Amino acid sequence: MSPQADDQELLQSFKDPLTREKAFTGIIKKYQEKLYWHIRRMLVDHDDTNDVLQNMFIKVWKGLENFREDSQLYTWLYRIATNESLTFLSQQKKRSSVSLSDVESGLSNKLRSDTNFDANKLEWKLQLGIQNLPEKQRLVFNLRYYDEMPYEEMSKVLDTSEGALKASYHHAAKKIEEFILNH
Amino acid sequence: MQNSPEILNELMAVSPLIAGLDKVNVFKVPEGYFNELHLRITDFTIINNTSSPDNTNATNLQHVPEGYFDSLSDSILAKVKIAYSENTEIERDSALLQSLKDINVFTIPNGYFEALTDSVLSKTKTSHAEKAEEELREISPMLYSIKGENVFTVPRGYFESFADEIIEKIKPQPAKVITMKKRTSWFKYAAAAVVAGIISVTSLQIFNNSHNSDVSSLPADVQISFKYKTQDDINNGIAKLSDDDIAKYLEKNGNALDNELLTNNADVSEMPGTTDYLNDANTLNNYLNKIDAENVGKLTP
């Protein structure tokens, strides 16, 4: 079954009160890992990610009834996950009354405090490089590098033109490479 | 033959020698060739499209039987139908082949066509991934080489139980049901009568008191309140209160003070922020000492 057809079936059975919960479980199971990693790469910490993922699915439950099926469920879920992650980061910033760059350095510190952290390993340097990027570039880089999302889809998720996204990804990759080489 | 001035100028710039040559056509065609060319072409086309021997004469080519073109499409279609009507042909040639026609000896895996869209779509998806990989390899071969590494870990079984947790959260919580004891109807009427009695006795008392202006019959604390009629009376009264009186009042009524009122009236500009508490364990003590020194000192006479 194609992912698209599958979504349509899930949405269809969500409309029926008798199969609603089962359909919603299906939606969660289908997208939980992708969305988890999308959020985790933005927030770094598992507990923060879990909070945001749970809240977003509760919002999805409430909003799914009004979901317009002319847009893709997959794109819609990524949009919500992205917005929820950004809201979380800005709330964190307000709560601690520090600037966003401090929040970002906080994310780098969270990485460094991981029990498996190894500053000499390339993969950890890569993560530090990603956290060193401005928020929007970080999102674009993650969606392309890890999720391999086509620019067309990404432009729907981030409300940005495909050209700007391509440029953003190129800049981000170059910046990360530079970061890795200098650290 | 003449060239436009631009082309001539261009040629002059490239090769003045060629530009200076006279334009002479060295090729020749038979006399009257172009005048009869259209007839030759028509001749060739009709010869190829019809087998009628009557039409071989070029001079008669322009004459076709009456209504020929009107019925041409129908006659072509009829020939095509006959040529491609396999049933007619097979039925005519071999009844055996006709009977075997619908038996398919080839098999396909179960649900092949149902899954075909899926597999095509998944290949499209792969091509998205391939495009992304190709792009990355061009931008940064180094990032491409470390792509598969995931440094983050997730608690064991997290994804297995996640959906159930959410479903549990979105389920409407059953409302707490409190069972009421059934009371007999006489109890309801008796209770109503008691309440009505209390209200009427109290109102009568207040009514009489206000008419007689006899404050001596009111409770002691109510009698005192009659002394304070203006804001000045109240301010003077408070000024006369001793610290002991205020302390006793607070001890007795402290719990009733509205926290929100206190918060609203507090001067927050000097209060420490969240981060101050994280940075220094003595933040609260320092702040309270400061209040003691500055504010409380001012308040006490």
Which residues of chain A make contact with B118, given a CB cutoff of 8 A?
A: 1-2, 5
Give the nearest partner residue to B169 out of A58, A150, A173, using CB atoms: A58
Instruction: From A81, A97, A113, give the residue that closes a domain.
Output: A97
For the stretch A134-147, pLDDT in tens is: 999 999 999 999 99
* DSSP letters spanning chain A: --HHHHHHHHHHHHHSTTTHHHHHHHHHHHHHHHHHHHHHHHH--HHHHHHHHHHHHHHHHHHGGG--TTS-HHHHHHHHHHHHHHHHHHHHHHHTT--HHHHHHHHHHHHHTSTT--TTSHHHHHHHHHHTS-HHHHHHHHHHHTS---HHHHHHHHT--HHHHHHHHHHHHHHHHHHHHH-
What's the confidence (pLDDT) of residue B59?
43
> Same structural domain for residues A69 and A106?
no
Q: Is residue B21 part of a domain?
A: yes
Per-residue confidence (pLDDT) for residue B27, from 0 to 100: 66
Tell me how far apart the alpha carbons of residues B18 and B182 are, in angstroms, rounded to a whole number: 122
Residue B256 lies in a domain: no
User: Are A37 and A119 in the same domain?
Assistant: no
Is any Cβ of chain A less than 8 angstroms from the Cβ of B275?
Answer: yes
Q: Which letter, b or e, does each residue of B20-29 get, where b requires 16 or more Cβ atoms within 10 Å of its Cβ?
A: eeeeeeeeee
Listed residues A97, A126, A150: the one ending a domain? A97
Query: What residue in A sits closest to B148 (Cα-Cα)?
Result: A146
Using 50, 70 and 90 to split pLDDT, how confident is the model at B234?
A: confident
Best mean pLDDT range from A53-67, B115-129, B183-197, B259-273: A53-67
Cα-based distances in Å from B93 to B89, B102, B103? 6, 17, 18
pLDDT at A161 over 90: yes
| Percentage of chain A lying above the pLDDT 90 cut | 67
* One-letter amino acid of B265: N
Check if the beta carbon of residue B143 is closer than 8 Å to that of residue A17: no
Asked whether residue A88 falls in the same domain as residue A116, the answer is no
Based on the domain organization, do B56 and B70 belong to the same domain? no
Q: What does the angle CA A28 – CA A34 – CA A37 come to, to the nearest 5 degrees?
A: 120
Where is average pLDDT lowest: B9-13, B17-21, B42-46, B176-180?
Answer: B42-46
For B243-292, the pLDDT digits (tens) are: 787 777 777 766 555 555 555 555 666 677 766 766 676 777 777 777 66
Phi-psi region at A99: left, alpha or beta (left = phi > 0; alpha = psi -120 to 50): beta
**Do A61 and A105 fall within a single domain?**
no
**Pick the residue with more confidence: B187 or A79?**
A79
Number of domains in chain B: 3
SS (H, E, C) chain B: CCCCHHHHHHHHHHCHHHHHCCCCCCCCCCCCHHHHHHHHHHHHHHHHHCCCHHHHCHHHCCCCCCCHHHHHHHHHHHHHHHHHCHHHHHHHHCHHHHHHCCCCCCCCCCCHHHHHHHHHHHHHHHHHHHHHHHHHHHHCHHHHHCCCCCCCCCCCCHHHHHHHHHHHHHCCCCCCCCCCCCCCHHHHHHHHHHHHHHHHHHHHHHHHHHHHCCHHHCCHHHHHHCCCCCHHHHHHHHHHCCHHHHHHHHHHHHHHCCHHHHHHHCCHHHCCCHHHHHHCCCHHHHHHHHHHHHHHHHHCC
> Taking a C-beta distance cutoff of 8 angstroms, is the pair A117, A111 a contact?
yes
Residue of B nearest to A29 (CA): B163
What's the mean per-residue pLDDT of chain A? 89
pLDDT at B203: 60
Examine the domain organization and report whether A73 and A92 are in the same domain.
yes
- Exposed/middle/buried for B146, CB within 10 Å: 0-12, 13-18, 19+? middle
Residue B55 lies in a domain: yes
Q: What percent of chain B has pLDDT over 70?
A: 47
Whether residue B203 lies inside any domain: the answer is: no
- B101 and B116 in a single domain? The answer is no
**Shortest distance, CA B123 to any CA of chain A (angstroms):** 11
Q: Which of A2, A95, A145 sits opposite B121 (nearest CB)?
A: A2
**CA–CA min distance A183, chain B (Å):** 15
Q: What is the pLDDT of residue A77?
A: 96
pLDDT at A1: 42
Q: Distance between CA atoms of A23 and B163, rounded to whole angstroms?
A: 11
* Same-domain status, B59 and B76: no
Looking at the structure, tell me whether residues A114 and A40 fall in a common domain: no
Residue A173, chain B, CB below 8 Å: the answer is yes
- Shared domain for A93 and A107, answered yes or no, is no
Give the A window 99-138 contacts with B, CB below 8 Å.
Answer: 114, 116, 122-124, 126-127
Q: A54, B169: Cβ pair inside 8 Å?
A: yes
- Predicted confidence (pLDDT) per residue in A105-125, tens digit: 788 888 888 888 888 888 888
- Chain mean position to CA A72: 16
B residues 216-245 lying closer than 8 A (beta carbon) to A: none
* CATH number of the domain where residue A111 is located: 1.10.10.10
Same domain, B59 and B3: yes
Tokens of B83: 């040529």
- Based on the domain organization, do A37 and A10 belong to the same domain? yes
Choice among A77-81, A133-137, A146-150, B178-182 with the minimum mean pLDDT: B178-182
Please tell me whether residues A109 and A165 are part of one structural domain.
yes
- Residue A169 lies in domain: 98-183
Q: Which amino acid, B172?
A: P
Residues of B in contact with A149 (CB under 8 A): 128, 132
Question: Are residue B120 and residue B94 in the same domain, yes or no?
Answer: no
CA triple B167-B173-B174, angle to 5 deg: 135
Greatest CA separation for chain B = 147
Could A96 and B139 be called an inter-chain contact, meaning their C-beta atoms sit closer than 8 Å?
A: no
Range(s) of the domain holding residue B98: 66-105
Mutation target to probe the B interface, by most B beta carbons within 10 A, among A57, A115, A171, A174 is A57
CA separation for the pair A5, A11 (Å, rounded): 10
Domains in chain A: how many in total?
2
Structure tokens at B298: 């001012």
**Both A109 and A85 in a single domain?**
no
Are A77 and A143 contained in the same domain?
Answer: no
User: Is the distance from CB of A132 to CB of A118 less than 8 angstroms?
Assistant: no
Query: Does one domain contain both B45 and B10?
Result: yes
Residue A28 CA to residue A20 CA, distance in Å, equals: 12
CA–CA min distance A148, chain B (Å): 5
Q: Which of A50, A67, A97 corresponds to the end of one domain?
A: A97
Q: Which of chain B's residues have a Cβ under 8 Å away from the Cβ of A177?
A: 140, 142-143
Q: Which residues of A touch B153 (CB under 8 A)?
A: 46, 116
Inspect the interface and report whether the beta carbons of A176 and B151 lie closer than 8 Å.
no
What is the pLDDT at residue B283? 73
Q: Choose the weakest-confidence range: A45-49, A97-101, B95-99, B173-177.
A: A97-101
Q: Is the ipTM of this complex over 0.85?
A: no
Predicted confidence (pLDDT) at residue A87 exceeds the cutoff of 60: yes
CA A47, CA A61: separation in Å to the nearest integer?
A: 21
Domain boundary, last residue among B87, B105, B123: B105
pLDDT tens, residue by residue, B140-158: 888 888 887 788 889 999 9
Interface subset of B 151-190, CB within 8 angstroms of A: 151-155, 158-159, 162-167, 169-171
Residue B230 lies in a domain: no
pLDDT digits (tens, 9 = 90+) for A7-46: 989 999 999 999 999 999 999 999 999 999 999 999 999 9
Give yes or no for residue B125 having a pLDDT over 50. Answer: yes
The reply to whether A17 and A92 lie within a common domain is yes
Separation between Cα atoms, residue B23 and residue B74, nearest integer Å: 54
Over 90: is that where the pLDDT of A55 sits? yes
A-B contacts at Cβ under 8 angstroms: 102
State how far the Cα of A30 lies from the Cα of A77, in Å rounded to an integer: 11
For residue A97, the model assigns a pLDDT of 66
Averaged confidence pLDDT in chain B: 69
The answer to whether residue B127 sits within a structural domain is yes
**pLDDT given for residue A26 in this prediction:** 93
To the nearest 10°, the Cα dihedral for B8, B11, B16, B19?
Answer: -50
CATH number at residue A83: 1.10.1740.10
Whether B99 and B132 share a structural domain: no
